[in-house]
A and B are shown apart, each in its own frame.
With several copies, the nearest count.
Chain A
């Protein structure tokens, strides 16, 4: 049993600033959890507190049923894979992988057997007698992983282990890590600032910002229902369009008014939730992929976009343009169209927005205005 329980854990630095503040989180045994956030958000610090490499200033950390606040790292039975890999440069791959077993008093025979097994699992059999300096980046990454696996720890802590790999290798290792987790079934925390890794690898994402845990949940749940503007902006690229608009009650329907003809009707399903905010300024959040070139039945509502830039990526087209505005400057909107769309910069085109997955945010508190989620229903 290696669940992890953080109970209002904080990290206070001597200069009085908080690295991590009041994080409450329970990670179940065998779960694969992602810590996601911009650099300096406290995600790596939290990981190191779980590993015992940084002290916990306040709060309690449990691994399984045991309070680990004062337990040294060597007695926590966790393994960390570092961004730098942190291979011991003076040892061969074999010695690197066997070091943890040796420290734990395994016999030479046992060390040899487990090292060979793990090396075979990761395809490192040929490299066992090399020094880390003689390995490629991808091979080092595998050795670091192997060093963690061979000890059979209760918990894997991965601190941006893929960030030093090139795009292609990163995509491969992403899949491989997921397969490995499925096979070993150990509790795993993976720290990253990469949205793709976050969306695809874990059972759950924990989004952190300035030391606080902002939102935790299944990837597609967070994607569909971000709790605030930060999450809405952070979780995808191109990010969600966030447009300052006015919400008003007109002739029995609730209207999102972006000025100068940029008007949408709130879908019937959300009217009850949004009606209390009628007559106020809100932030209208619309993902670029919820904008279509052609109408999608009754789901979508048309609007006119003055196209300022067309980025043809080959597989798809990213359109930037302006629409509405009126009182303030025109609103900048990004749309994600299929690569078959034919649009030129300078044109004004009619596009079709799907309002059902869209969100409204409070411009002051920056939090999402609650509405029934589509996720459970869909």
Chain B
């Protein structure tokens, strides 16, 4: 008798895997097509040959235009907003997790802010930034994104802090640390995976955000989603440029998420019944 006696019959397994592979291709092929289009000359975008010739023409055209600037803008805005929001989120999340500050109502309020339609928030944001003369500025976008990220990051970090046993902090307190010392020397290092996961998620949210970027940025401060949208509408869809733009837009996400894949998959459990 084989070592594992409970595999289904071979015919069923072949059929099963054939079906699964077909479904995987349905998901993966479009992505591969985008990759292909981005690396062939624009005039051959729609050619039926599989790879009519490798060319970085699309990327060159794209980066020589405004897209390069947009790329930099996106990095500054996404990184900046996370760096501003994360420390506040960590402290608020810790207060919620350990001291139940504000009780259930405060947590609900924080969650509720996430439920407002972004469209309803764009106009007030615009008015606020205009009053501060921060429209069309990266600073303005950074601040708005930090504000948008704050409740989400707080929520995620609250979960991580809750999972840290209070005994650890008690041990630090009796070992001679102050409350702040226990947070800084014990809680923060222990929750580094959570901070990293939260940071990357915040980065991705900011990186992908379209609506606020559209309304609050000007030509010199536009971010990648806005630039991508512009490519798709300005003078007809330049499919080669768009494909290159999409590849570039996804690139840092792939890098970042592979890097923290472990923390994301292991560490992020949205739901748990009690």
Contacts and interface: CB of A to CB of B under 8 A. Distances in A.
Interface centre among B1, B4, B171 (most CB of A within 10 A): B171
B174 A80 contact: yes
Interface stretch (B44-52, B88-96, B175-183, B259-267): B175-183
A96 to B, nearest CB: 9
Nearest to B189: A90
A74 B167 contact: no
Interface centre among B175, B176, B186, B190 (most CB of A within 10 A): B175
A69 B5 CA distance: 9
Interface residues of A, number: 33
B165 A84 contact: yes
Given A55-B6, A99-B172, A103-B176, A82 B167 contact: yes
B1 A86 contact: no
Nearest to B170: A53
Nearest to B273: A89
Given A58-B1, A69-B5, A84-B167, A78 B174 contact: yes
Contact of A74 (B6, B173, B186, B190): B173
A83 B6 CA distance: 27
Task: Report the interface size class on chain B.
Answer: 20 to 34
A58 B173 contact: no
Interface in A78-128: 78-80, 82-84, 86-90, 99-100, 103-104
B174 A74 contact: yes
A151 interface: yes
Contacts of B31: none
B168 interface: yes
B229 to A, nearest CB: 44
A189 B228 CA distance: 66
Contacts of B190: 88-90
B174 A57 contact: no
A53 B5 contact: no
A324 interface: no
A48 B170 CA distance: 9
Contacts of A103: 172, 175-177, 181
Interface in A39-86: 48, 51-53, 55-59, 69-70, 72-74, 76, 78-80, 82-84, 86
B175 A100 contact: yes
A74 B3 contact: no
B173 A88 contact: no
A232 B120 CA distance: 69
A149 B4 CA distance: 33
A8 to B, nearest CB: 10
Given A74-B178, A99-B175, A147-B175, A86 B5 contact: no
Contacts of B3: 12, 57-58
A52 B178 CA distance: 12
Contacts of B189: 90
Contacts of B170: 48, 51, 53, 73, 80, 82, 86
B195 to A, nearest CB: 13
A199 B81 CA distance: 60
A243 B34 CA distance: 75
Contacts of A72: 173, 178
Contacts of A53: 170, 173-174
B139 to A, nearest CB: 36
Interface in B1-50: 1-6
A83 B165 CA distance: 12
A151 B167 CA distance: 18
Nearest to A159: B167
Interface string A283-314: 00000000000000000000000000000000
A76 B176 CA distance: 9
A147 B167 CA distance: 14
Nearest to A153: B174
A366 B223 CA distance: 72
Nearest to B171: A86
A234 B1 CA distance: 34
Contact of B174 (A51, A55, A70, A88): A51
Contacts of B165: 84, 86
Interface string B112-148: 0000000000000000000000000000000000000
Given A86-B171, A88-B171, 18 more contacts: A53-B173, A55-B4, A55-B6, A56-B5, A56-B6, A58-B2, A58-B5, A70-B5, A70-B6, A73-B173, A79-B174, A80-B170, A80-B174, A86-B167, A88-B190, A103-B172, A147-B175, A151-B175
Q: Would you list the 4 A-B pairs with minimal beta carbon distance, nearest first?
A: A103-B176, A86-B167, A100-B175, A55-B6
22 contacts: A12-B4, A56-B5, A58-B3, A72-B178, A73-B170, A74-B176, A74-B177, A78-B174, A79-B174, A80-B171, A82-B171, A84-B165, A88-B172, A89-B190, A90-B192, A100-B176, A103-B172, A103-B175, A104-B176, A147-B171, A151-B175, A151-B176
Interface of B: 1-6, 165, 167-168, 170-178, 181, 186, 189-190, 192
